[in-house]
A = this chain, B = another copy of it.
Amino acid sequence: MLVPHAARALGQVLGERLSRAKSDLEQHGRSESHFPTCPPEAVAYPETAEEVARIMQICADHRCPVIGWGAGTSLEGHGLAVSGGIVVDFSRMNKVLEIRPADMDVTVQPGVTRQALNEELRATGLFFPVDPGANASLGGMAMTRASGTTTVRYGSMRDNVLGMQVVLADGRTIRTGSRARKTAAGYDLTALMIGSEGTLGLVTELTLKLHGIPEATSAGICAFPRIEDAVNAVIDTIQMGLPMARIEFVDAATARAFNAYAGMDMAEAPHLLVEFHGSPDGVAQDAARFAEIVADHGGSAFEWSSRPEERNALWAMRHNAYYAVLALRPGARAVVTDICVPISRLATAVEETQADIAASPIPGPILGHVGDGNFHAILLIDPDQPAERDAALALSHRMAERALRLGGTCTGEHGVGIGKRRYMQAEHGHGWTIMGSLKQALDPMNLLNPGKLVPDA
């Protein structure tokens, strides 16, 4: 709880950048999902790492919970103040601190969004590839181990953060990792922090790997008779070592949504959307070889293009999938699920999920990052019908159980937050207790984002 004495001390550090305005609290108590609003007691807007450390020290002195906040795009309620306390909003720590083209890395403050970073990088010929769809903050992306459409080629946040500066629960600051591309010097504190969802520390700086903007890009789309055929085409593509930059699956219902929303003319069938990065000859060859694989699996002619306007239209459509699907049912809200399985089990997982949704009272188009075995159902519910919300949560529950049964994970990229905490015991067994021990070691007073990810102390 934020006691008056702590509020005064925070006010002395932050002045007007400590807000207790109702609108601010409301705004930082909402999530982009189906969880009830849960506002914090104050919102702090630090501008420096030193201020973050001071905030943490004051909160530690007064046992006040502290919750990090990036762009607020989490889908699992990561930022909700379920035990009260303050939210630390990093939006004013939004500077790109240093770009080092020769090393292909960059140091940023945590409030920089991925789009803002790529904007700043434009002149360098480099880009930051991790793309979760939303224009999330890089600090938030690190803390939720974000990934997305390009992960099959460039990896997730786990693979693209070289090091961090982190304020710990006692207010001390550490640096993890280094600017070396690899190291064998002790425990991987960077990896421990990535995906820890603000429960172990507050990130105040990140050093990220960059990649060269490819000389050429080819992208295309094709339809398949059955989900299984699309998935088998992906397996063959991976096994042949074709370097896909993106390979996305959409089901027939999603294709229908694209047709209605974006005036497309897609067959109402499972599709793959694919992109290759490389030299002009290379991407043409990759596309040609992929077309052969598609044909082998009964797919439609693989129509591809290296023209930017056509490629951009394709990925704009994919990025707008959420809104296209939402438009299928005016007035609906979405419950977005997120599981990931070994790719050999992907067709089974998608087909079982489709059948489960078909037997339910609500629609739920399916799409996903098929190269990683990760997919989502966008379950459309009438917010005024509790029975629909229950049906959606029951479907989501069975998806998580299905993922675990098939050797996968209850969350491929959205994280645990409060939405997936109930599956942690089933997924990790005694490992979840170990996560609790690690939390206890670094945050014995349970001040950092309490009520999330780990077991109750």
Contact = CB atoms under 8 A, between A and B. Distances in A.
Nearest to A409: B183
Given A125-B239, A180-B342, A180-B373, A409 B192 contact: no
B181 A373 contact: yes
A194 B188 contact: yes
Contacts of A212: 238-241
Contacts of A428: 174-176, 185-186, 189
Interface residues of A, number: 96
Nearest to A430: B174
A344 B442 CA distance: 35
A434 interface: yes
A184 interface: yes
A158 B373 contact: no
A180 B407 contact: yes
Given A182-B374, A343-B103, A430 B195 contact: no
Contacts of A281: 281, 285
B343 A186 contact: no
A282 B146 CA distance: 32
B278 A241 contact: yes
Contacts of A392: none
Number of copies: 2
A149 interface: no
Contacts of A289: 279
Given A187-B196, A342-B105, A182 B100 contact: no
Given A211-B241, A430-B173, A435 B344 contact: no
24 contacts: A100-B344, A103-B342, A125-B239, A174-B429, A178-B408, A178-B427, A179-B342, A180-B341, A180-B342, A181-B340, A181-B342, A182-B340, A183-B411, A184-B195, A184-B413, A185-B411, A186-B427, A186-B432, A186-B453, A187-B453, A188-B195, A189-B431, A192-B192, A192-B438
